[in-house]
Amino acid sequence: MLKINNLHVKLEEEDKQILKGVDLEVPAGKVHAIMGPNGSGKSTLSYVLSGRDGYEVTAGDATLDGEELLDMEPEERAAAGLFLAFQYPVEIPGVGNMTFLRTAVNAQRKARGEEEMSAADFLKFVRAKAKDLKIDADMLKRPVNVGFSGGEKKRNEILQMAMLEPKMCILDETDSGLDVDAMKLVSEGVNALRDEGRSFLVITHYQRLLDHIKPDVVHIMAAGRIVKSGGPELALEVEHNGYADILAEIDA
């Protein structure tokens, strides 16, 4: 599904290399997690994959189902099936959540040559998905993320994911700012989307999210590279011993 090959990325504005050769492959239907200390480049990886400005790819590439991702505009990546659940979802005053969702769903359908969804069908669709995530009518009416609590923002991200039905989902520290109940709700939302044809890349600091969203593979990222990969037990090891042991082991 997602293949990242020797990806090198620096900041556009300054001479600072963030990613220094990331190699990663997430097969279809699998959940991979990336853990790592602050500043290891986890979020940068998610931004570069989704096409945010401000980064320059100096070497390597990334493909989604064989398609070269890094040449595409952000909206083309989305239409190709990539979805990034933001660590800090953006507030957009004046744009109703419902308008936003309908515009996004129909824009992607159009880009894929599918018919746009009628207003009535859309309403049915969004209500069903929102109910699963305990998102009420009021949250759908309000402007995108404006005045939402941390938990509401993250649930809204998962609602978008559920509506857009992407094949490759990247979750960037979705657990940050969530209490236990909200984390459970969000995780259930994600788990409900797990599917043979859909892959996940879950970026997190902490093992606790991975108790709810069980990964197939865990990668440790440090200093701009994947330094170690393993099964779910690797996350537990980090939880107990921190990153220091792993990093020392690699340096040795």
- The residues of the shown chain that bind another protein, judged by CB under 8 A, are 50-53, 73-75, 77-79, 83-84, 86, 89-90, 92-95, 99-100, 103-104, 107-108, 111, 143, 160, 164
Distance of CA 119 to the CA centre of its chain: 28
Residue closer to another protein, measured from CB, 66 or 94: 94
Under 8 Å CB-to-CB from 210, ≥6 apart: which residues? 33, 202, 204, 218, 232, 235
Instruction: Report the nearest approach of another protein to the CB of residue 26 (Å).
Output: 19
Under 8 Å CB-to-CB from 61, ≥6 apart: which residues? 4, 5, 6, 7, 68, 69, 70
Instruction: Report the nearest approach of another protein to the CB of residue 227 (Å).
Output: 28
Residue closer to another protein, measured from CB, 108 or 207: 108
Residue closer to another protein, measured from CB, 93 or 230: 93
| Element at 57 (helix H, strand E) | strand 55-64
Instruction: Report the nearest approach of another protein to the CB of residue 199 (Å).
Output: 18
Q: Which residues pair with 83 in a beta bridge?
A: 169
Instruction: Report the nearest approach of another protein to the CB of residue 107 (Å).
Output: 5
- For 20-96, where are the alpha helices, taking DSSP H only? 42-50, 74-79
Residue closer to another protein, measured from CB, 74 or 242: 74
